[in-house]
């Protein structure tokens, strides 16, 4: 699906919000929050690499570290675009736009991507749209199934992946001695697909903003999220229905 956008961006200008030689930034066609963008690198060399591996290898044009730094710039651009787009509707001051950017957006990938091409989610943390339909949708963004972009930094992963041949399924962190003799902490991402699906199914629901727990009662969580988003964005004096990315 995303390959079509990469190959023929001129045919998809309704959802593309930014494009250059390196990436597309698009609106998710099935957004799970008020703003849900995807950063999609164009390079054929990386588009089909698993997101947990993509920054832990070198390419002909850049090292994994250089690639991570490059994509980080686009992630920041997408976050700024999300915040500024909401800020425009809210008619709020720059300080509030910065608050949204720094506290109301999360960025990362799904450990089991739903679509083939590499894509990084940039999503507001309200999770308040009709397309957020069930516990699976919510937990896919709010458990270990969702890996924060910062945790993909090869500074924390590359040496561990190479040393263990990328065969690991723990979600804890280990420390090993680096070349300089200092302790280096590495992040272990869950890889086992059965375990990942169990995480989505068996993790009780919890509000990302306030921490309130809802066991497995999704409709109760939905009502709570509606209250939270109404209180936060309603404080700007707008009807939250005007904020939706959904068409």
The set of catalytic residues is 119
**226 neighbors 126 (Cβ within 8 angstroms):** no
Q: Can you list the alpha helix ranges (DSSP code H) found in 52-165?
A: 64-90, 94-103, 135-142, 154-163
Mapping DSSP to helix (H, G, I), strand (E, B) and coil, where does residue 107 land?
strand
Structure tokens that stand for 180 in this block:
């300089």
User: Which DSSP string do the residues of 179-237 spell out, in sequence order?
Assistant: TTSSEEEEEPPP--HHHHHHHHHHSPPB-TTT--B-TT-HHHHHHHHHHHHHHHHHTTT
Strands 105-110 and 36-41: unpaired
In angstroms, rounded to a whole number, what is the distance separating the alpha carbons of residues 225 and 239?
A: 15
The H or E element containing residue 18 is strand 16-19
Spell out the residues 6+ positions from residue 58 whose beta carbon is closer than 8 angstroms to its own: 64
């Amino acid at each position: 699906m995303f390959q079509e956008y990469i190959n023929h961006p001129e045919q998809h200008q309704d959802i593309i919000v930014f494009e250059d030689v390196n990436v597309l930034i698009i609106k998710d066609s099935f957004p799970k929050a008020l703003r849900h963008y995807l950063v999609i690198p164009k390079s054929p060399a990386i588009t089909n690499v698993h997101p947990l591996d993509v920054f832990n290898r070198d390419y002909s044009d850049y090292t994994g570290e250089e690639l991570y730094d490059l994509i980080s710039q686009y992630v920041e651009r997408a976050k700024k675009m999300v915040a500024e787009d909401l800020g425009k509707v809210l008619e709020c001051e720059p300080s509030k736009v910065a608050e949204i950017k720094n506290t109301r957006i999360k960025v990362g990938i799904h450990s089991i991507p739903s679509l083939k091409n590499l894509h990084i989610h940039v999503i507001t943390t309200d999770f308040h749209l009709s397309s957020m339909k069930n516990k699976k949708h919510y937990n896919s963004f709010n458990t270990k199934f969702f890996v924060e972009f910062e945790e993909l930094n090869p500074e924390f992963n590359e040496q561990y992946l190479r040393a263990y041949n990328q065969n690991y399924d723990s979600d804890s962190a280990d420390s090993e001695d680096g070349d300089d003799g200092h302790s280096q902490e590495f992040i272990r991402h869950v890889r086992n697909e059965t375990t990942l699906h169990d995480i989505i199914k068996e993790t009780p629901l919890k509000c990302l903003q306030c921490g309130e727990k809802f066991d497995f009662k999704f409709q109760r969580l939905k009502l709570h999220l509606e209250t939270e988003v109404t209180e936060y964005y309603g404080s700007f004096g707008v009807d939250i229905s005007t904020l939706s990315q959904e068409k």
